[in-house]
Structure 1
């Protein structure tokens, strides 16, 4: 397709309007996919929490020892030979209490969490490429089904090994579902509803899902039933396959003009507007296959890709770290989780209000710098202020996290958009894999995780200032349309 035709996609579909029945319905339906993602990603907080415990006392064992005429002179201590008793004041059962993942087996808990994020990492990379090849819609439904069905099987795990392997498979679909849904909506909607969808539909939907987790957890104290309860809502969106359309932008890139026009004509019918006889003129065959290597093809996209990798790594590391550390904060676990969700929703709404008034780089810089400074001073404040600063820092990283998706969707061209987002999400999930171990450092010094998170947030915030502002710009379709970064020339090598 010619550069002109690609560049004017938003102009060609201008007759659809901004907020007709089609757009409102699409925003609502795609947001339904995100609510399960909100709790699926952090359900591990309650499933793997460690209740209070002590060594189980076997009275018969010690009666035998007292009656024995042989007394051992050894001072060696003995591990809990009869196992442990776990408190049921908060949980009926977690994987820790069921499989006794304490003391010598305590390492298995962060390992399970890390392997889950290995699945997220793998899924982000594989599904990003797959979505650019076979379409947004198939990948969206495939990843939602995968994480929900795997969660149901995981609830029937017979041992820790089975649970951990299924965690990896469940993670495979999580972020891929979120990212693909975000891109699908962004490529169909015009600029005004696109922003509302990205920040209110997607981000607030994710926050609502997160807010449901403490509600589920409070009434369902058994980890198996909690996983079942979290899986079922996601399966209920599967019939939407016959309602949600494919991305017309992607269809155009694959030379499927008739299908792209069918999507637009259906939208026009719902909005009760007329369409021209020919929406997208025919074109000559052109290259329609791209790979991750194209992310390094020109200087502009190469610089954006490399900077994006570090920024996403940092943002997801800090966001995941503060999410997983919720149960370690002082106070009620369920209340802290709910407050975190409310903070997320408030951050997303604030982002929606402010993002049209500020450049993208300045907004991300301000949010991550705010987060970084608060996290760095946590070690200097008394315990009474510690929780408040951690939650306030979460406000900053949540705002940055929500706009990062919007920002890089606007930076990446259609031909490699999902591939690019997949690469960014993949490298970000390396941070998720590391964050359980960074949090574990808090056992030795509670301020250490926050020093790591805060320092990296500040470095990433400064890098943001070198990226171009995409506010009020059309989505680029081709690599040649990628904006140059600050301080670099606009020369392109096609």
Structure 2
């Protein structure tokens, strides 16, 4: 259910809202009034926080055991499941509090393995964010009507989110992320070779690149959550998402470089995307693997695996020599 919710459930409604944006912009030409029109509906979501249940895991980490049990029993009733009489044992509550209360963002850089995972993911997130937002903002520079181009850029995300669901269910996380980033970057690099009189082909290739970046953006969210243990999962996803904001901030400047040399933005975005796809192959695979509960349960990246294997073989050789000497 987590896969369905994180791919099709949430993201596809984001695409529907994105598709409505050019329609609203077409009807409201003043940008100030457009900002008001798209901001005011958000105020109606504030009362919803009272109807959304709190995370039982977080409540448990704060020692609010009764509230956590009440939420779980309510969920059990809705799912027509009989909850046990005692959900949390006292020792279990004590261990959960110890495990969940003493971790922060600094833990993402403590060990060599988790440090490399964080660095690789941050770079991949930045590359995806640059490509996604730069292509979204570049619709006004494409041939044809700006409103229609923006609508097509949003509409192409719907099949992208639908495709991400079967990819999550049946394909490798690393290979899916690599394929989408590599193909997206290759399409952007190939765009600069299209003659100027074939503007429709260039637009189609750019939409294909947007399609690939959208799939990659969907994959990297859940992939990041699966890589990190429970005690650091929210912190890691938030940190990587914050790093991606560097990409979204710099995206307009990538497009601005096109005023000096038209193909330069595509060359830079394509190169970053291809490099990000290659680096994603170093990340550990999570497809079919249980979610890690502690930092020690985290899988190691490919580089660390090789180093660890060589170190183990060296230790075995040294141990064998010592035994033979004895």
Q: TM-score, normalised by structure 1?
A: 0.58
Match of 2:293 in 1: 477
Match of 1:152 in 2: none
Match of 1:420 in 2: 236
- Structure 1: gaps spanning 5 or more residues: 1-192
SS in 2 for 1:350: helix
- 1:440-451 matches, cutoff 5 A: 440-451=256-267
The alignment status of 1:202 with 2:10, answered yes or no, reads: yes
- Of 375-384 and 479-488, deviating more is 479-488
Higher Cα Rg, which structure = 1
Q: Deviations over 1:100-132 (max 9, x none)?
A: xxxxxxxxxxxxxxxxxxxxxxxxxxxxxxxxx
The alignment status of 1:240 with 2:48, answered yes or no, reads: yes
**Alignment counterpart, residue 175 of structure 2, candidates 351, 362, 366:** 362
**Alignment counterpart, residue 229 of structure 1, candidates 29, 37, 55:** 37
Structure 1 residue 478: deviation in Å? 2.1
SS in 1 for 2:300: coil
Structure 1 residue 264: deviation in Å? 1.0
Alpha-carbon separation, structure 1, partners of 2:275 and 2:61: 37
Alpha-carbon separation, structure 1, partners of 2:39 and 2:249: 23
Structure 1 residue 463: deviation in Å? 0.8
Match of 2:270 in 1: 454
Match of 1:404 in 2: 220
SS in 2 for 1:209: helix
Match of 1:262 in 2: 70
The alignment status of 1:291 with 2:291, answered yes or no, reads: no
Alpha-carbon separation, structure 2, partners of 1:323 and 1:266: 42
Q: Deviations over 1:50-86 (max 9, x none)?
A: xxxxxxxxxxxxxxxxxxxxxxxxxxxxxxxxxxxxx
Structure 1 residue 338: deviation in Å? 0.9
SS in 2 for 1:377: helix
Cα pair 1:324 1:436 within 8 Å, conserved: yes
**Alignment counterpart, residue 276 of structure 1, candidates 77, 84, 88:** 84
Alpha-carbon separation, structure 1, partners of 2:152 and 2:79: 39
Structure 1 residue 320: deviation in Å? 1.1
Alpha-carbon separation, structure 2, partners of 1:295 and 1:356: 28
Alpha-carbon separation, structure 1, partners of 2:253 and 2:265: 9
Alpha-carbon separation, structure 1, partners of 2:60 and 2:287: 24
Cα pair 2:12 2:161 within 8 Å, conserved: yes
**Alignment counterpart, residue 329 of structure 1, candidates 142, 161, 165:** 142
Match of 2:117 in 1: 304
The alignment status of 1:380 with 2:193, answered yes or no, reads: yes
Alpha-carbon separation, structure 2, partners of 1:198 and 1:435: 25
Cα pair 1:376 1:454 within 8 Å, conserved: yes
Alpha-carbon separation, structure 2, partners of 1:348 and 1:393: 14
The alignment status of 1:214 with 2:22, answered yes or no, reads: yes
**Alignment counterpart, residue 488 of structure 1, candidates 287, 300, 304:** 304
Cα pair 2:3 2:168 within 8 Å, conserved: no
Alpha-carbon separation, structure 2, partners of 1:318 and 1:254: 40
Runs of 4+ in 1 over 6 A off after TM superposition: none
Structure 1 residue 487: deviation in Å? 4.0
RMSD value, Cα: 1.7
- Structure 2: gaps spanning 5 or more residues: 309-326
Alpha-carbon separation, structure 2, partners of 1:249 and 1:340: 39
Alpha-carbon separation, structure 2, partners of 1:479 and 1:234: 37
Match of 1:50 in 2: none
Structure 1 residue 470: deviation in Å? 1.4
Structure 1 residue 298: deviation in Å? 2.4
The alignment status of 1:350 with 2:137, answered yes or no, reads: no
Alpha-carbon separation, structure 1, partners of 2:230 and 2:115: 16
Alpha-carbon separation, structure 2, partners of 1:282 and 1:340: 53
Structure 1 residue 304: deviation in Å? 1.0
Q: Deviations over 1:313-335 (max 9, x none)?
A: 11111111111111111111111
Match of 2:209 in 1: 393
Match of 2:321 in 1: none
SS in 1 for 2:75: helix
Cα pair 1:414 1:476 within 8 Å, conserved: yes
Structure 1 residue 255: deviation in Å? 3.5
Match of 1:71 in 2: none
